[in-house]
A = this chain, B = another copy of it.
């Protein structure tokens, strides 16, 4: 990775880490119960912080100040983390590991993991509503976008399609695309859109951000499917081969690795083209290429 890209990515990711610490109920508000501990445990397990990075990058590229993106960036990361906690539950995917560490219910018990996920689904709306910098109008737009994309019409809707597909013998391409667009694509799209809203961007910019995010999100998911087959387990931080063990339909099972890789490549090129419509697009272009080339 180029040094400039790496530095900026590091800056955005560490902004996120320090903001999350400020929003922590344990550290900041002294809430000393198991749910607060479990919330921080799962939030700290980290990952690439791609969504908060995108919020900041789109805020910047639309002429805003990244420091104002603290609430939307962390709100989105909390929603993402809540979905992982509940996804890992025994009645859902029943995963013991998440990012190389025991999943939330393995560490804190199932009831506590349900409640920690619930609390992380609700707190995002509080930190946006209570933010000191953003206007009421911007807050309402952010909350509308976030709740729509994470709810039954968005991410949760994608999860139910994913679950129901497990019972189906045949999952076709249209179904798979819709599931991806909702389950993982929506929060990627919302990351970009929330960045725009925070900066007070116009409708044209928001539409371009959505189109970019559609391409990036789908490419990102296709690469996840490929990595489940090809990646190094230690590097990935979770067991590989789980899709095929569960007989899951993915872009790889539908088209094979090579076609899937080509599709991801095409989507990435389209995403890069859309970024040409923005000034100061170097960081986002570098990030987009990097996300395609990742091996974990």
Q: Chain A: residues with CB nearer than 8 A to chain B?
A: 25, 29, 31, 33-36, 39, 82, 86, 89, 91-92, 109-112, 114-115, 117-119, 121-123, 125-126, 128-130, 135-137, 139-141, 143-144, 146-148, 150-153, 156-157, 159-161, 163-164
Q: Select which of B29, B39, B111, B136 is within 8 A of A136 by beta carbon.
A: B136
Interface core residue of A25, A39, A115, A150 (most chain B CB under 10 Å): A115
Interface of A is mostly: helix
The answer to whether A147 touches B125 (Cβ under 8 A) is yes
Contacts of A161 in B (CB 8 A): 33
- Minimum CB–CB distance for A91 against chain B, Å: 4
A40 to chain B, nearest CB (A): 11
Say yes or no: A156-B122 contact (C-beta < 8 A), given A33-B161, A34-B164, A136-B136. yes
> Number of copies of this chain in the oligomer?
2
User: Can you list 12 A-B pairs with a CB-CB distance of less than 8 A?
Assistant: A25-B153, A35-B152, A35-B156, A92-B114, A112-B160, A115-B152, A118-B118, A122-B152, A123-B147, A128-B143, A129-B141, A129-B147
Please give the distance in Å from A212's CB to the nearest CB on chain B.
24
CA distance A130 to B143 in the complex (A): 9
